[in-house]
Chain A
């Protein structure tokens, strides 16, 4: 085969947030029933792990993605906005939607997709997707082509 090899490169980041799962569309009793302890009134927190995966061929330097540029993008667009914040009170992505890790993963993926070209202007690398570990046992993965 003489084609160009494609790779996925994954970088792992960490951030810590508090949140409370609550939906304004539900009654207090429904919120308590559906979200359980995650609905406790004063909230709680997690040390989240974020995995960001880029894909593409290697460039002449043998790299798929400039890691320093990826770090800068993720810090600016995601970590600076989330780390050590209360998702309900401090992050406007969750004005209308409860800060579940599903919604958090979709918001992070969408934000990275929307800002990707500020860091990577060419055809490659592309954002493949992201993954959130809310805890080591609860993991949420979303593919970039499924996000607006």
Chain B
């Protein structure tokens, strides 16, 4: 089995707040991320697919297909958008890196999971110093 990773970057603004909580409580939970008019990040997304290379093509999957999928399911929707206002479900789901990573997993998994290959990990860098890994693991 091999792990193939494709990386893309998108830039988006967001604000992390829980509407039911006070300003003080939001600041305690999210710090500057709660600043009411939002701020932006250059997100870096790494999508890793695990599988065995096809004996004929020598490929786990066609990276052009993965590129097109990421363009369609992530770039076209997220890049240069204000996530809270323009990209459902973040009008009602707090756009933390955790929730964005899980939403991207949900968008990608149906197209990537095939006989002999599987979406293994979504890694989302909010900054170079903070990132989230989601592997679909549930308990």
Contacts and interface: CB of A to CB of B under 8 A. Distances in A.
A67 interface: yes
Interface residues of A, number: 22
B10 interface: no
Contacts of B102: 5, 7
A136 interface: no
Given A10-B130, A11-B130, A67-B130, A62 B93 contact: yes
A26 B133 CA distance: 42
Given A9-B130, A12-B130, A64 B98 contact: yes
A5 B137 contact: yes
B119 interface: no
B98 A4 contact: no
A58 interface: yes
A63 interface: yes
A127 B60 CA distance: 33
Chief secondary structure at chain B's binding surface:
mixed
A9 B131 contact: yes
B138 to A, nearest CB: 3
Contact of B31 (A11, A57, A58, A67): A67
A61 B30 contact: yes
A61 B18 contact: yes
Interface string B122-139: 000000111111111111
B12 to A, nearest CB: 16
Chief secondary structure at chain A's binding surface:
mixed
Contact of B29 (A6, A13, A66): A66
Interface string B89-129: 00001111111011000000000000000000000000011
Given A12-B129, A60-B18, A7 B29 contact: no
A68 interface: yes
B34 to A, nearest CB: 10
Contact of B96 (A1, A10, A63, A68): A63
10 contacts: A3-B139, A8-B132, A11-B129, A58-B96, A58-B99, A60-B18, A62-B93, A63-B16, A64-B132, A66-B29
Interface of B: 16, 18, 21, 28-31, 93-99, 101-102, 128-139
Given A7-B101, A8-B132, 16 more contacts: A1-B138, A6-B137, A7-B133, A9-B98, A9-B131, A10-B133, A11-B130, A13-B129, A57-B139, A61-B30, A61-B96, A62-B93, A63-B30, A64-B98, A64-B132, A66-B29
